[in-house]
């Protein structure tokens, strides 16, 4: 016995909604990874120029609302977050190496996410053209 047309239409509607929700989740994750990528690019520029001088003038924060002029000293010594509340003091060159490895991980995650987004887009187009789902969400 064939299911009524309304049941099939309802299932297609639910599946389309699930596709849209999954697309929004992937878009949010993509934006988060792109933000990481942009932050790493900005950090790289800073790390490249920071050790050019042994001291550097800066506005030092005092509390949440106040700043005062000060100096950064030992600008070739960078404290790097290793994870799980562990930090290590590294040179700017070593910190650039760590940054490069982290950026490679983000780039790989962006590449994988783009492939998932493209696959989801293909599923969405298949639903739009054929009117029924061809595979599960992934």
Q: What confidence tens digit (pLDDT) does each residue in 93-130 have?
A: 999 999 999 999 999 999 999 999 999 888 888 776 65
Least confident of 31-35, 40-44, 116-120: 116-120
Q: Is the dihedral of CA 131, 115, 19, 2 positive or negative?
A: positive
Q: What CATH number is attached to the domain comprising 82?
A: 1.10.287.370
Q: Is the pTM here over 0.75, yes or no?
A: no
Domain boundaries, position 98 = 7-124
Task: Report if residue 138 sits inside a domain.
Answer: no
Task: Report if residue 78 sits inside a domain.
Answer: yes
The beta-strand segments (E) located in 25-131 are 55-62, 66-73, 77-83, 86-91
Per-residue pLDDT at 5: 60
Total tally of structural domains belonging to the chain: 1
CB atoms closer than 10 angstroms to residue 121: 13
- pLDDT tens-place string over residues 104-113: 999 999 999 9
Task: Report if residue 104 sits inside a domain.
Answer: yes
Report the mean per-residue pLDDT for the chain.
86
Task: Report if residue 136 sits inside a domain.
Answer: no
């Amino acid at each position: 016995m064939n299911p009524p047309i309304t049941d099939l239409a309802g299932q297609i509607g639910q599946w389309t909604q699930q596709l849209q929700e999954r697309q929004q989740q992937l878009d949010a994750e993509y934006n988060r990874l792109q933000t990481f990528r942009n932050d790493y690019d900005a950090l790289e520029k800073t790390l490249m120029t920071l050790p050019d001088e042994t001291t550097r003038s800066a506005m030092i924060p005092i509390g949440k609302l106040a700043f005062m002029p000060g100096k950064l000293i030992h600008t070739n010594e960078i404290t790097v977050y290793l994870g799980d509340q562990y930090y290590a003091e590294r040179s700017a060159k070593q910190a650039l190496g760590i940054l490069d490895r982290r950026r490679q991980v983000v780039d790989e995650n962006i590449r994988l996410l783009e492939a998932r987004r493209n696959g989801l887009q293909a599923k969405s187009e298949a639903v739009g053209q054929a009117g029924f789902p061809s595979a599960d969400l992934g």
